[in-house]
Amino acid sequence: MSDLLNKKCVPCEGGVLPFDISEIHKYQKKIDGWNILKNKKENFFLNKKFNFENFSESQEFVNKVGLISEEEGHHPDILFGWGYAEIKITTHAIEGLSENDFILAAKIDQIINA
């Protein structure tokens, strides 16, 4: 994971192919506990649910995710409530996964592991 923590997300405007399944599995080994799922269009995305003691802890985590997302210029979908936050990451411009998604996932995990 440390190599991903040292990287910065690169703006993606499309024009590149999303990772294929073998590349996805290679990068999945570098992050902890993120699921690889497909949406209705069969595009891959990362998904992870985080559990907390209460609403306040969930909100604090989500605010930290928001700060990292702004710094990286890469924004996940976030669902949260009392005692949980669920993060979904994909590169919308290419309708799939790129290295940026794994960089962001590693940096989100660092919030919990810090």
Tell me the H-state helices in 1-54.
Answer: 2-5, 21-28
Give 78-87 pLDDT, tens digit per residue. 999 999 999 9
- Residues ≥6 apart with Cβ < 8 Å to 26: none
What is the span of the domain harbouring residue 95?
33-113
Residue 109 lies in a domain: yes
Looking at the chain, the whole-number percentage of residues with pLDDT higher than 70 is 96
Query: 23 lies in a domain?
Result: no
pTM of this structure: 0.93
**Residue 8 within a domain:** no
Structural domain includes residue 15 = no
H helix and E strand count, the chain = 4, 4
Residue 85 lies in a domain: yes
At 6, is the pLDDT very low, low, confident or very high (cuts 50, 70, 90)?
Answer: confident
Tally of structural domains, the chain:
1
Residue type for 25, please? H
Q: Tell me, what CATH number does 75's domain have? A: 3.30.1360.20
